[in-house]
Structure 1
Amino acid sequence: MAPSATVEPKSRQGPVRSALERLIQSGEIESDPIQRRLADRLDALDRRLSAEVGASKKSALGWLFGQKRDADPVKGLYVYGDVGRGKTMLMDMFFRQSSVAAKRRVHFHALMGEVHELIGEHRRAHKNGEVKGDDPIPPVAARIAEKSRLLCFDEFTVTDIADAMILSRLFKALFANGLVLVATSNVAPDDLYPDGLNRPLFLPFVKVLKEHAEVFELAGEEDYRLAFLGEEDIYVETSDPAAGQRIDAAWERLLDGSKETTASLSVKGRTIPVPRAGNGAARFAFDDLLKRPLGSQDYLALAQRFHTILVENVPVMDEAERNEAKRFITLVDTFYDAGKRLVVSADAPANELYQGRSGTEAFEFDRTTSRLFEMRSREYLEKASAREDARS
């Protein structure tokens, strides 16, 4: 349990801190002094933004036209820390109660996908003589900032060289347009895009980021999402009348109060849709993940992006489902090797999932069965959390 901390009088608490205290008082989360400090920082940021809104009073975009450029700019906040520390929960509390009208909450990868689309639109328009200027970054940044004074995004991680190469110029332009950023990540700014191709060209972005956003480490050891995710939650047989409820309950614990969204990954030009995602976890139906022509690189990308994958309704397979069985073997191997968590609901025990007798799949599925048993053990779950912490 986290150490106790003095609770401020309710009259002095901001909305984020008050919402956090309600969760603590209800027993939904543990008392955590570092979370309280972050809540207070977020409330302080909202007070500055609220004062600015009150000064303009003209429209949702009054800040854009009424702000003095020589005034002390409002600095955003970059929050990083271990998986499960409540970063997304607190950011979402801040976003919901913020008085800023021109605000947006988006996943980092979704934003970058939008940016690349806007860049493509500008280049096509320039080619057709519809716009002047062949540099797409200033107009793209202006379009984004025009709609959003406050931008909140979750799971800031840079793995794509195309993103890395434009981030510095893009965000320099966004900040110049008055945008305020609140972001969460598992890593400190200096550790973004580690060992990435042409990383020296990415480093100016880190400087720009730290100039326009204060850095807050939400340190700690306990992973709140996994504290109540035990062996019985990792592999659920659908023959259990309560199987659906158990899987839904596990998913809610993984979300830990975060909003469920959709997401996508780009792997070598292919797009992998993620129908349900949140708080570093992803949820798939078997057909969505194992009946599609995906391979080891796709599953590795999922393992790099998410700490936990939940796969529902895995059927019993035989020779007729050899391709699906092969993909399932690859999925399990990839997540096992990466030390990530795999939550499964299936139509049979792990050692009865593959009924085929010919080909290599029968032999290989023996290893998959062994790994599925190991991956639901408390020892594996604790090691998975430790490996995630080491990477953060």
Structure 2
Amino acid sequence: MAAALVPPPQFADASFASYRPDPEYPSQAAVRDAVEAFVATRPEPARRGLFGRRREPVQPARSGVYLDGGFGVGKTHLLAAAYHAEPSRKTFGTFIEYTALVGALGFQGTVDLLRGTSLVCIDEFELDDPGDTMVMTRLIKELSESGTRFAATSNTPPGALGEGRFAAQDFLREIQAMSDRFDTMRIDGLDYRRRAVDESARTVDDVAGALPDGSTTLDDFRAVVAHLASVHPSKYVALVEGLDAVGLTDVQAFTDQTDALRWVALVDRLYDAQVRIVASGTPLDQVYPQAMLDGGYRKKYLRAASRVVALSRAAD
């Protein structure tokens, strides 16, 4: 299971050198350099004293870096670059993948599996699920105290004490203890996936006819959304495995927020696997009513909208 915790295919070759910071946003280059320096800094190994007493290794002041910023500014690229630059044992996974690991192995089993890992990379850290977040704060505490370091990207809901900070008021002491272990770095910038501010997800009249060659699916959008309710989000990876494209007919706007959040989780997996989307009906970046966009999950919906624009225009 730990062997599967690697960056998704589109970031298989991500490096700090291949990251292209926008010169109009100096924080991009600054954060790139800071993360590279963090990975390159090695904790001093433990040594024995003159009389055989083992001295604890000298750890950096902070055991992790936490990258916060808007969607499409390269946070995942930098996280994958950190993974590839780490010469020792390391893992890379989304927040959901790590919580699924705890679900499968139990908390202590997960600690035992990951103990001894030099760097744990966590993409899309969720701060809107109290139960899962508490599990992850405990996991970070246990592993960091044994020498593991962390790199994470944020998915902080708007209004959670600002985008550049942990949601300390939501989970108080637990989240504050975790945030004390991290250097929080803000990345500013525009979404690189949108070539124009008015660009939307592509739609077609004949989905079946527009599907590319290869391994594809063809389903009614509402049927897909209904099916997601019967599958745990940790299993969405298996749903899209091996696919080249998915066809969706009669896309409609969401009326239920739970359905919308499940769809967001699927979009993340489709994006990780770079599965093209061919759809008819409402453009997939316009399926979230304004009431949902005005709520606490706005950042998730905008990230998903950005990603479906890229996936629907993959052949452009």
Which TM-score bucket, shorter chain as reference?
0.5 to 0.7
Residues 215 and 236 of structure 1: is their aligned pair in 2 closer, same or farther, counting only changes over 3 Å? Answer: same
C-alpha separation in 2, matches of 1:169 and 1:186: 19
Cα pair 2:228 2:262 within 8 Å, conserved: no
Distance 1:89 1:295, change over 3 A: same
Which consecutive residues of structure 2, in runs of 5 or more, have no partner in the other structure? Answer: 1-13, 47-53, 157-162, 214-226, 294-300
Deviation digits for residues 20-77 of structure 1 (CA, Å, limit 9, x no counterpart): 3xx46xxxx666421111111112112213x75xx69xxxxxxxxxx95352346220
**Match for 1:118: what amino acid?**
L
Which residue pairs with 1:169 in the alignment? 138
Letter in 1 for 2:114: I
Which residue in the other structure is 1:271 paired with? 232
- Please say if 1:296 is aligned against 2:256: yes
CA contact (8 A) 1:154 1:184 kept: yes
Contact 1:85–1:224 under 8 Å retained in 2? yes
8 Å CA contact retained: 1:83, 1:186: no
- The answer (yes or no) to whether the contact 1:75–1:213 under 8 Å persists in 2 is yes
**Displacement of 1:211 after TM fit?**
2.4
Q: How does 1:150-161 map to 2 (within 5 A)?
A: 150-161=119-130
Tell whether 2:163 aligns with 1:203. Answer: no
Report the equivalent of 1:79: 67
Question: Residue by residue, what CA displacement relative to the aligned partner does 1:276-323 show, whole Å, maximum 9, x if unpaired?
Answer: 59xxxxx97247999xxx9935422136656999984447xxxxxxxx
One-letter amino acid of the structure 1 residue matched with residue 202 of structure 2:
I
- Given the superposition, is the C-alpha separation of residues 287 and 227 from structure 1 closer, same or farther in structure 2, using an over 3 Å criterion? closer
* Among 76, 83, 88, the residue aligned to 1:95: 83
Question: Are residues 244 and 336 of structure 1, via their aligned partners in 2, closer, same or farther at CA, if it must alter by over 3 Å?
Answer: farther
Does residue 1:46 correspond to 2:39, yes or no? yes
User: 1:180 maps to what in 2?
Assistant: 149
Whole-Å separation in 2 of the counterparts to 1:166 and 1:240? 43
Cα distance in 2 for partners of 1:45, 1:332 equals 36
Q: 1:86 deviation in Å?
A: 1.3
The aligned amino acid for 1:75 is S
- In the comparison of the two structures, how many residue pairs are matched? 245
Measure, in 1, the Cα distance between the counterparts of 2:105 and 2:18: 37
- The question of whether the paired residues in 1 share the 8 Å contact of 2:207 and 2:248 is answered with no
- Please point out which of 34, 54, 59 is paired with 2:27: 34
Q: Cα distance 1:336–1:216, how it changes in 2: closer, same or farther (>3 A)?
A: same
1:114 equivalenced with 2:101 (yes/no): yes
Identity of aligned residues (%): 20
Q: Deviations over 1:198-257 (max 9, x none)?
A: x4xx3223222222221111123x222223475475324558998759xxxxxxxxxxxx
- If the length of structure 1 is used for normalisation, what is the TM-score? 0.50
Q: Could you tell me how far apart the structure 1 residues matched to 2:15 and 2:279 are?
A: 40
CA contact (8 A) 1:77 1:213 kept: yes
Aligned CA distance change for structure 1 residues 231 and 190 (closer, same or farther; 3 Å) = closer
Equivalent position amino acid for 2:110 in 1: V
- 1:325-370 deviations in whole A, cap 9, x for unaligned? xxx88x898524434436597xxxxxxxxxxxxxxxxxxxxxxxxx
> What does 1:272-351 correspond to in 2, within 5 Å?
272=233, 273-274=236-237, 275=239, 285-286=246-247, 296-302=256-262, 305=265, 312-314=277-279, 335-337=288-290, 338-339=292-293, 340=301, 341=305, 343=309
> Partner letter of residue 36 of structure 1?
A
Classify the secondary structure of the residue corresponding to 2:122: strand
Residue aligned with 1:19, SS: coil
State whether structure 2 residue 6 is matched by structure 1 residue 19: no
Q: Is the 2:65–2:183 contact (alpha carbons within 8 Å) kept by the matching residues of 1?
A: yes
The structure with the greater share of residues assigned to helix is 1
Q: Secondary structure at the match of 2:34?
A: helix
Once the two structures are superposed, what CA deviation does each residue of 1:158-214 show, in whole Å capped at 9, x if it has no partner? Answer: 3334313333332211111211000001334744488xxxx4xx3223222222221
Equivalent residue letter for 2:31: L
Alignment correspondent of 1:134:
none
After the TM superposition, which residues 123-162 of structure 1 pair with which residues of structure 2 at under 5 Å, given as runs?
137-138=107-108, 140-146=110-116, 148-162=117-131
By how many angstroms is 1:97 displaced? Answer: 2.4
Higher relative contact order (CA 8 A, sep 6+): 2
Which amino acid in the other structure matches residue 210 of structure 1?
Answer: S
Larger Rg: 1
Query: Does 1:227 find its partner at 2:188?
Result: no
Equivalent residue of 2:120, what SS?
strand
CA contact (8 A) 2:86 2:119 kept: no
Q: Distance in 1 between matches of 2:34 and 2:140?
A: 22
2-structure distance, mates of 1:229, 1:190: 27
Unaligned runs of 5+ residues in structure 1 are: 1-14, 57-66, 120-136, 246-265, 278-282, 316-327, 346-392
